[in-house]
Amino acid sequence: MTDLRGDLVRIDRERLWDTLMELKEIGAYDDEATGLRGVRRLALTDADAEARRRCVAWMVEAGLEVRVDRIGNVYATRPGRDRSLPCVLMGSHIDTVATGGAFDGTLGVLGGIEVMRALNDAGIETLRDVEVAFFTEEEGVRFGTDMLGSAVTAGRIPLDHAHKLTDAEGKTVEEELVRIGFDGPEPELRPVPYAYIECHIEQGPILADAGVDIGIVEGVQSISWQRLTIHGEAAHAGTTPIVSRHDAGLVAASVVVELRRMCDSGDFGQLRATVGSFDIGEGQTNVIPQRAVITIDLRNPDDTLMSAAERHLAAYVAELATQHGVEVAWERMAKTAMVPFDRGIQEVLSTTADDLGLPYVRAMSGAGHDAQEIAATCPTAMVFVAGEHGGISHTPREYSDPAACGNGTDVLANAVLRLANQP
Amino acid sequence: MTDLRGDLVRIDRERLWDTLMELKEIGAYDDEATGLRGVRRLALTDADAEARRRCVAWMVEAGLEVRVDRIGNVYATRPGRDRSLPCVLMGSHIDTVATGGAFDGTLGVLGGIEVMRALNDAGIETLRDVEVAFFTEEEGVRFGTDMLGSAVTAGRIPLDHAHKLTDAEGKTVEEELVRIGFDGPEPELRPVPYAYIECHIEQGPILADAGVDIGIVEGVQSISWQRLTIHGEAAHAGTTPIVSRHDAGLVAASVVVELRRMCDSGDFGQLRATVGSFDIGEGQTNVIPQRAVITIDLRNPDDTLMSAAERHLAAYVAELATQHGVEVAWERMAKTAMVPFDRGIQEVLSTTADDLGLPYVRAMSGAGHDAQEIAATCPTAMVFVAGEHGGISHTPREYSDPAACGNGTDVLANAVLRLANQP
């Protein structure tokens, strides 16, 4: 890269690892299913508040200027030479699901703090400000909307709407922000960054299968969630001839099988389809199911092929309904278009990885991330870090080794450094 | 028939109908799902006890000798000229499911009582005793074992075992028999009858589709109940490639679809397959199901083809398990071989129907009946009576019109009369 100023910086891997291990003690619990120690740190709970305070303390120790916005997003700035220029932003989240691990989200936040420490240790001054952030309620487990803090700061979700969201006990986001002392004074629509890079564990097997620690993320897949309800007719399993049946369970099962066929066919590109919920009520061995409700989760890195998949599915279900004499009803639960990440930022990441001698693969993200929200405001990309056990996540089994975490954070550090010195 | 002695007897249709309508008031309830008045008369409840006492009163009024055995089966005898000869037995049950109608079981019992009245009215004396019975807990809804009373009297289930069965509240059959006063003194293994005929509603659409009121039943299908548990692996719907999945829900759905294909193929004769229960737990839209449990109900009028179907299914599931990398476990819930009914009794029934000018079809029973138990002890057959709405049963919508009930009971009366005069 012609714009490379100075040598490569290296983060302190042991310090990063110690920080990751320290934070995972906040909200730790004994997980019965795995026999492991997990992390339960739902957004805006006492555990989340304690983890937030710990991170703020680390930020202050690193000499950063900390500020909190009205949705509880926290930003910490390392000033550059020209403070009038837009900053380079790093970030992710520190809230977890109910059965979480030590890496999801936290690697990007604690990695970002480690980048700041490494820049300090090397005595490096940047042209632009560098910032590290953590965003509120990325998981969506407590208040029902994922990427909440980043969606608010990106202007997609109005602050007022976000404040009024409630948890299962009826507590609002606003009440909980006030309670834990993270209802900051800063406007939720922050100054636009020059670039945003999020380092995150992959949560999938692609990197490990390719034998690399690093993934350069090209974008986030399109996501479609629909609920399909099938109304058939209950009847006696023994006395009802096959041709006289209106079997809601069979129709639902046929949809599940067809979805897999669609994925395998290649007709819809890299379509991934999942039926995670399949409900026919209590059920009786000798009664034909009257009603079935299934959810259909479709992912596709290509919006056109996603639409084609949805159209094919709708036509298939309509034909099936006629064939079996059942009524069907569709309900749209969610739909997001594919979010492509910035090619320029990806280019900086790939050159940086090459310069560090770290092999990588390019990949689409199958999961949602704060980066897909921030991408609406500034050039954005992500660095993925490989995980073990097929990249399993949202469980205490989630694990990325110190070398992978260190390599990912080295890529983050040097890419940020290069961007922060771009005039 | 050369052995026909005397003219044809005709039952009193209005009296039969009035009796049916009177009994359905015992245990009547307002059914929310249908807006109709249904019958809830679970075995050995207060409602069942009241219905039992009403039937016994009708039996006594008809001059019959009533006795109760140790499993609560009730027999009422109209003496013949030679009491040393085995009797001709009619019967069925008066217990219902929780959402029952007025005809299932009761038609055979109240029809049998009406046959006795009609013989009385016509002043007919028979060579052999004629008996009418109702058997305890045919539905199996309360104590979990269907055809309980008839299975005990046929010697298949030991009395002691039956007495100890419990309902959901832990009450035993024996306690409940004592409580309602139907713990009779008669041995449960009764004197072997000369023949048994059960008149029952069809609970299916075959008769109505053929445009006839009467079915002569050739036997009861083989029934196979199995539970299949599939252990896969939970994983993220967005990040897990299709080829890396171990989707328990997909494997279960594939089994459901294959079962239907097997039925449609004709390779397994008149196989009927039903998956009435499909459980993957609560389920989450974006999580691949870890575990699925389904029940598989197979029916087949041919034991050889039933075994072939079970073998094919086991091989299919084993292959599917390998393909998807899941573990499967089979559990046998129930299996009964096909029960063929006696050809001689069927011949008496068909000749009788011909003599009465009533068209009929021959059919296999898809449901289980007391007759399949009694068939182990003496020559047995059944008369089916057509129902409306596709023969729907186990719901307050269950309905057979007065003409069909009357025609079925006329066939019963005259077939019994002929058999009772056979030396």
In a domain, A158, yes or no: yes
Residue B4 lies in a domain: no
d(CA B132, CA B153): 15
Can you read off the two tokens belonging to residue A59? 């930020």
- Mention every residue, 6+ apart, whose C-beta is less than 8 A from residue B138: B43, B92, B93, B95, B105, B146, B147, B148, B149, B150, B369, B370
**Is residue A403 a part of any domain in this protein?**
yes
Cβ neighbours of B260 in A, within 8 Å: 242, 247, 250
B372 touches chain A (CB under 8 A): no
A204 touches B at CB < 8 Å: yes
Q: Vertex A12, ends A10 and A18: CA angle to 5°?
A: 155
- Say if A377 falls within a structural domain: yes
Nearest to A276 among B275, B286, B366 (CB): B286
Q: Which residues pair with A297 in a beta bridge?
A: A225, A274
Percent of chain A at pLDDT exceeding 90: 88
SS3 content of chain B, % helix, strand, coil (to 5): 35, 20, 40
pLDDT at A80: 98
Closest CA to B409 of B356, B371, B365, B364: B356
A39 φ, ψ to 5°?
-125, 130
CA distance B287 to chain A (A): 5
Helix A106-121 and helix A46-61, axial crossing angle in degrees, nearest 10:
10
Same domain, A215 and A99: yes
Average pLDDT of the segment spanning A170-190: 98
Of A223, A257, A286, which to mutate for an interface test with B (greatest number of B Cβ within 10 Å)? Answer: A286
The per-residue pLDDT for B2 is 38
Q: What is the DSSP annotation of B16-77? A: HHHHHHHHTTTTEEE-TTTSSEEE---TTSHHHHHHHHHHHHHHHHTTPEEEEBTT--EEEE
What number of residues does chain B have?
423
Angle at B32 between CA B26 and CA B35, to 5 degrees: 80
Task: Please give the backbone phi and psi of residue B279, each rounded to the nearest 5 degrees, phi first.
Answer: -125, 120
Q: Tokens 């100890």: give the residue.
A: B164
Residue A8: inside a domain: no
- Residues B93, B167, single domain; the answer is yes
Amino acid (1-letter code) at residue B133: A
Put simply, the answer to whether A239 touches B365 (Cβ < 8 Å) is yes
Give the residue among B43, B191, B73, B60 at the shortest CA–CA distance from B113. B60
Contacts for B42 with CB less than 8 Å, ≥ 6 apart? B48, B95, B96, B97, B98, B139, B141, B142
**DSSP string over A88-120:** EEEEE-----TTB-SSTTHHHHHHHHHHHHHHH
User: pTM to 2 decimals?
Assistant: 0.82
* Predicted confidence band of residue A243 (pLDDT cuts 50, 70, 90): very high
Q: B51's torsion region: left (phi>0), alpha (psi -120 to 50) or beta?
A: alpha
State percent of chain A over pLDDT 70: 99
pLDDT exceeds 60 at position A106: yes
A28 shares a domain with A169: yes
DSSP-derived 3-state class of residue B228: strand
Which pLDDT score is estimated for B227? 96
Domain ends where: A284, A312, A336?
A336
What does the mean pLDDT of chain A come to?
95
Low-confidence ranges of chain B (pLDDT < 50): 1-5
Same domain, A330 and A345: no
Contacts of B165 (CB under 8 A, 6+ apart): B143, B144, B145, B148, B172, B173
- E runs forming strands in B285-337: 291-300, 327-336
pLDDT of A352 > 60? The answer is yes
Per-residue pLDDT tens digits for A115-145: 999 999 999 999 999 999 999 999 988 998 8
Distance CA A261, CA A269 (A): 12
* Rounded Cα–Cα distance for residues B237 and B123 (Å): 77
Cβ–Cβ of A366/B206 closer than 8 Å? no
- According to the model, what pLDDT value does residue B95 have? 97
Q: Going by C-beta distance under 8 Å and a sequence separation of 6 or more, which residues neighbour residue A378?
A: A86, A89, A192, A193, A194, A195, A196
Helix axes A106-121, A13-23, angle to 10 degrees: 140
Using a 10 angstrom Cβ sphere, with 0-12 exposed, 13-18 middle and 19 or more buried, the burial of residue A261 is exposed
Query: Do A192 and A153 reside in the same domain of the chain?
Result: yes
For residues A214 and A230, state if they share a domain: no
Could you give the 3-state DSSP secondary structure of residue B291?
strand
Q: Write down the pLDDT at residue B5.
A: 41
Buried b (16+ CB within 10 A) or exposed e, A200-232: bbbbbbbbbeeebbbbbbbbbbbbbbbebbbbb
User: Which of A278, A307, A336 marks a domain boundary?
Assistant: A336
Q: Are B311 and B362 contained in the same domain?
A: no
Residue B404, domain CATH: 3.40.630.10
Query: Which domain covers residue A370, as residue numbers?
Result: 13-220+338-420
Name A220's Cβ contacts closer than 8 Å, sequence gap at least 6.
A336, A338, A339, A341, A364, A365, A367, A368, A369, A371, A372
Query: Is the Cβ pair A282, B280 closer than 8 Å?
Result: no
Domain final position from A291, A311, A336:
A336
Cβ neighbours around B318 below 10 Å, total: 11
Instruction: Give how far Cα A223 sits from Cα of A163, A368, B229, B247, B286, Å.
Output: 25, 9, 30, 19, 10
Q: Is the dihedral of CA B308, B314, B315, B320 positive or negative?
A: positive
Higher pLDDT, B92 or A233: B92
Q: Do A89 and A208 have their domain in common? A: yes
Pairing status of strand B380-385 against strand B28-30: unpaired
3-state secondary structure of B198: strand
B40 in contact with A, Cβ within 8 Å: no
Whether residues B389 and B316 fall in one domain: no
Interfacial A residues in 253-272 facing B (CB < 8 Å): 253-254, 256-257, 260, 263-264, 272
Query: Both B148 and B231 in a single domain?
Result: no
Instruction: Locate B136 and state its tokens.
Output: 């305890």
Residue B3 confidence (pLDDT): 40
For residue A264, the chain B residues in CB contact (below 8 A) are 242
Q: pLDDT digit string (tens) for A8-44?
A: 999 999 999 999 999 999 999 998 878 999 999 999 9
Q: B214 with B282, same domain?
A: no
What gap in Å lies between CA A49 and CA A60, rounded to an integer?
16
- Are A118 and A130 in contact by the 8 Å Cβ rule? The answer is no
Please indicate, yes or no, if residue A2 is contained in any of the structural domains: no
**Residue A288 to residue B277, Cβ atoms within 8 A:** no
Co-location of A181 and A51 in the same domain: yes
Q: Which one of B141, B227, B258, B286 would you mutate to disrupt binding with A, by most A Cβ within 10 Å of its Cβ?
A: B286
Would you say how long chain A is, in residues? 423
**Do the strands B380-385 and B195-201 form a parallel or antiparallel pair, or are they unpaired?**
parallel
> Is B3 among the domain residues?
no
What is the rounded average pLDDT of the residues A59-70?
A: 98
Please indicate, yes or no, if residue B75 is contained in any of the structural domains: yes
Domain count, chain B: 2
Chain-chain contact of B272 with A247 (C-beta, under 8 angstroms):
no
Q: Given this model, what pLDDT does residue B8 score? A: 94
Q: Which of B31, B97, B239, B372 should one mutate to test binding to chain A, selecting the residue with the greatest count of A CBs within 10 A?
A: B239
Q: How many CB atoms lie within 10 A of CB B5?
A: 13
- Put simply, the chain B residues between 302 and 341 with a CB less than 8 A from any chain A CB are 333
Q: What SS3 class is residue B139?
A: coil
* A311 class by beta-carbon count within 10 Å (0-12 exposed, 13-18 middle, 19+ buried): exposed
Helix boundaries (H) for B143-247: 148-153, 159-164, 173-180, 206-210
Structure tokens at B327: 């573990």
Instruction: Say what the alpha-carbon torsion angle A186, A190, A196, A198 is, to the nearest 10 degrees.
Output: 40
In sequence order, the β-bridge partners of residue A385 are A201, A214
What does the alpha-carbon distance between residue A80 and residue A273 come to, in Å, rounded to a whole number? 46
Q: How far apart are CA A111 and CA A119, in angstroms?
A: 12
Return d(Cα A149, Cα B111) in angstroms, integer.
Answer: 73
CATH number at residue B226: 3.30.70.360
